[in-house]
Homo-oligomer: A and B are copies of this chain.
Amino acid sequence: MKIVKTKEEVRAAVKEWKAEGLTVGFVPTMGYLHEGHASLMKLAGENDRVVVSIFVNPMQFGPNEDLASYPRDLERDSSVCEEQGVDLIFNPEPEEMYPQDFSSFVDMTGPTEELCGSSRPGHFKGVCTVVNKLFNIVKPDKAYFGQKDAQQFAVIKRMVRDLDMDLEVVAAPIIREEDGLAKSSRNKYLNKEEREAALILSRSLQLGRDMLEAGETDVAAIVKAIEDKIKTEPLAKIDYVKIVDASSIKPVETVKEQVLVAMAVYIGKTRLIDNFIFEK
Contact = CB atoms under 8 A, between A and B. Distances in A.
A107 to B, nearest CB: 6
Interface in A97-139: 99, 101-112, 128-129, 132-133, 136-137, 139
A106 B129 CA distance: 9
A136 B164 contact: yes
Contacts of A136: 163-166
Q: Within the oligomer, what is the number of copies of this chain?
A: 2
B110 A163 contact: no
A193 interface: no
A179 interface: no
A132 B163 contact: yes
A93 B105 CA distance: 26
A158 interface: yes
A74 to B, nearest CB: 22
A159 interface: yes
18 contacts: A7-B164, A11-B166, A99-B161, A101-B248, A102-B162, A103-B108, A103-B109, A103-B110, A103-B111, A104-B163, A105-B106, A105-B108, A106-B163, A129-B163, A132-B163, A133-B162, A133-B164, A137-B164
Interface of A: 7, 11, 99, 101-112, 128-129, 132-133, 136-137, 139, 158-159, 161-166, 248
